[in-house]
Amino acid sequence: MTEQAAHQKAGELSRTQVADYLRDNPDFFIDQDELLRSLTLPHDSGRAISLVERQVHLFREQRDTLRRELVELVSIARHNDRLFEKSKRLLMQVIEARSLNDMASAIDDSIRGDFGLDAASVLLFTDAELPEASQGALHVVSPGVAQERLGSLLEGSRAVCGQFRESERQFLFPDREEPIASVALVPLRSDDLVGVFAVGSCQSGYFDQSMGSLFLSYISDTLSRLLPPMVQRHTSAAPVADIATESR
C-alpha cells in the first residue's frame, strides 16, 4: 500500500475538502458546542480567540461596513435631490425666457449662484444676424469657426469633461479676467448641431471624465429644443424691425 493510499484509508482530508464540506453543510456545528469551544483562531492582537468570537468580530466588521455604505448612499441621495431641485428651477426659468438674452441671463445666474460654479457659456452656432447683441452667457459664433476651434469636442451628444486646451477654454469663455481651468461641455443637437452648453471652474481638475453629468443633460436637452425656434423668431423679427425704422 502506498503512503497516499494509507493516508486516504486513515480518513485524512485536505484543507480544500474540509472547507468544501463546511461550506456545503453550514449547520454542521449545531449541537457541537464542545467542538466550537475547543477551536481557536489567531487574532490581530496576538491572542487566540474562539470561532464564535471570530464570527462576532466578522459580523461587527460587516455591520460597520454596511453602515458606512448606507451613510454614503444617503449623502449621495441628498446631494442628487438638491441638484435636481436646482436643475428644475433653472429649466423653468429657461422655458419662461422671452428672448435669447433672457435665457442666457437665467443660465448665467443659476450656474454661478445656485450651482456655485465660476462660469457658464451657451455658444449658438449660426451665420444669421440677430437683432439683439449677445449678452452674458450667450455667444453667437459661425458654425465653421466653431468646428475649427472645438473640433472633436463637437462629436457625439454626451458631456465631455476635462481641462481642455487653453485655446478651447478661451473660445468657450471669452473676456474673462480669471481663466477657466476645468470644463464640462455638452453639444446641443436638434436635427443638427445648434451649439454647445458649457460650465467652467477656475479649479483645475474640478471636472473629470468620471464625474456624473445628469444635470447637464437635463439642461442641454431643453436648450436643444428651445434654441432653434427662438432663433427663428429672432431672425424673423429682424426685417420687421428694419421696416418699422425706415418708415419713420
Alpha helices in the chain (DSSP H): 3-9, 15-24, 33-38, 51-96, 100-113, 143-150, 166-172, 214-246
Query: Domain residues for 222?
Result: 99-233
The whole-angstrom separation of Cα 157 and Cα 153 is 10
Domain count of the fold of the chain: 1
Q: Is residue 42 part of a domain?
A: no
Question: Residue 43's pLDDT is what?
Answer: 60
Question: Residue 16's pLDDT is what?
Answer: 87
Question: Residue 9's pLDDT is what?
Answer: 47
Q: Is residue 121 part of a domain?
A: yes
Q: Is residue 90 part of a domain?
A: no
Question: Residue 88's pLDDT is what?
Answer: 87
The whole-angstrom separation of Cα 138 and Cα 175 is 12
Q: Is residue 155 part of a domain?
A: yes
Distance of CA 222 to the CA centre of its chain: 18
Q: Is residue 56 part of a domain?
A: no
Give the domain CATH number at 211. 3.30.450.40
Question: pLDDT tens track of the chain, all 248 residues?
Answer: 455 554 454 456 788 888 888 888 877 777 776 776 676 666 665 555 566 676 777 788 889 999 999 999 998 888 888 888 888 888 888 888 888 888 888 888 888 888 888 988 888 888 877 666 567 788 888 888 988 888 888 887 788 888 788 889 889 988 788 888 888 888 888 778 888 898 989 988 888 765 566 778 878 888 888 888 887 776 665 544 443 343 34
Q: Is residue 44 part of a domain?
A: no
The pTM for the full model equals 0.64
Q: Is residue 222 part of a domain?
A: yes
Q: Is residue 173 part of a domain?
A: yes
Among candidates 194, 195, 172, which has minimal Cα distance to 183? 172
